[in-house]
Amino acid sequence: MSRPKRGDALSLTIDDLAFGGEGVGRADGYVVFVRGGVPGDRLRIRLVEARARFGRGTIEAIEAGSPDRVEAPCPYFGRCGGCRLQHLAYSAQLASKAKQVADCLERLGGLGSFEIRPIVPAPEIYGYRNKMEFTVAGTAGEPVIGLHEADRYDSVLDIERCLLQSDSLNALLDETRQDARARRLSIYDQRTGEGLLRFLMLREGRRTGEAMANIVTSAPEIATLAPLADRLRARVPGPVSVVVNVNSRKASVAVGTEEHLLAGRDHINESLGGLTFQVSANSFFQTNTVQAERLFGLVETACELTGGETVVDLYSGTGAISLLLARRCRWLYGIEVAATAVEDAVRNARANGIDNCTFLPGEVRQHLPALVRNGVKAEVVVADPPRAGFHPKALRALVSLAPARLVYVSCNPATLARDAADLTRAGYRLDWVQPVDMFPHTPHIEAIARLTRRG
């Protein structure tokens, strides 16, 4: 049979999920990716892309729905670029994510015998996010404050209520929209560079009840925004901080070059694992507080600390893992490229009375070799690298450091498989891997891997 062409109508069964959450089916062996397809679906689809080895299709009809297909509760589902798996039963989401981790480690990493532990489900599958970033579009008097449409950066959906954030944050979202509409605040136009409002970033301390509205603007028009700050603080019962970040550049990012405090403090507090963390407008902090606490607990257990160890925390961020581990080791070194995150880590250590940490700002591939040259010995290393995984130079330095135990936290199973394979060739054994679902209804999956040095 000839290869299907763009525009062809096909009938196929979805038998898997790809990494981005698309359904995967086959028409006489030809692979087709279908957005919105659920494993077990029988679909009639229309090919919108036809390459030599695969195609992409859109659903024209569900001929027979999968038993795992459910009704998505969000009215924006299918158009919004955020949640892609609300139409898939949560148990099936978990099974698919666990399978993806195992497949990567076995296929891409070629790793031998190791234990895949059952995936850790999230206790809350809605309202779990403590941070959301919304884009402001539209015109004065008719603002649009929401999220980008799926696979589009030129269209923003006006989101009245996002199911992934709390009622308090949804109230702040609504109040911002009402004020911008009532006072006809100007909206930034990416093409002309004119207008004021650009983004609205909302944060919340899930354990403390504190909230923050970070209004990203093109100019420091503080007097214009002061009434909005008053309305936001009156709208929700808990403490609310309101800050303005000014981004006058063309770059469409919700980070400013200067910050102004309109109301409250310049940070909120969050509690995690018995420690208190100060979270500022542009700080990195795990966006699922409840599940992060469970993830960090698994990391702490995997380290098997007895109190006398030196620990190195690579890609340490604002120090959440570092400070939790510092309570159970002799000394800890944290390495993080973002200088502002290191400042947060130092501040958080001081606030919690922890004084056995050294935080180093800079690249892991530069600081880790320096620690080895300076004779630092570490029994345990924890690493939480970005999606790209370890830089080769950093991985070589890690092997030279030769810790007895390595706990690797990954947000990308493919790079975890690559790095774990390199480490096993360098003398380590992969003991077990624990998938953890941090972000229900999205394709993202975290995994913890524990490796020990052989001999």
Told to judge if 83 belongs to the known catalytic residues of this protein, a careful annotator would answer no
Tell the residue number behind the tokens 């902090």, with chain if given: 285
> Of 104, 162, 303, 411, which is the active-site residue?
411
Q: What angle do CA 274, 278, 281 make, to 5 degrees?
A: 140
Compute the half-sphere exposure of residue 280: CA atoms within 13 Å on the CB side of its CA: 19
| Cα distance between residue 394 and residue 390, in whole Å | 6
- Please provide the distance, in angstroms rounded to a whole number, between the alpha carbons at the two ends of the chain: 56
- In the chain, DSSP finds a helix count (H) and a strand count (E) of 9, 22
152: tokens are 């589009």
What H or E segment, with its residue span, contains residue 3?
A: none
| Cα distance between residue 430 and residue 315, in whole Å | 21
| Cα distance between residue 353 and residue 189, in whole Å | 47
Structural contact between residues 448 and 302, judged by C-beta atoms closer than 8 angstroms: yes
Exposure of 347 by Cβ count < 10 A (0-12 exposed, 13-18 middle, 19+ buried)?
middle
Structural contact between residues 156 and 142, judged by C-beta atoms closer than 8 angstroms: no
| Cα distance between residue 214 and residue 223, in whole Å | 16
Q: Catalytic amino acids?
A: 411
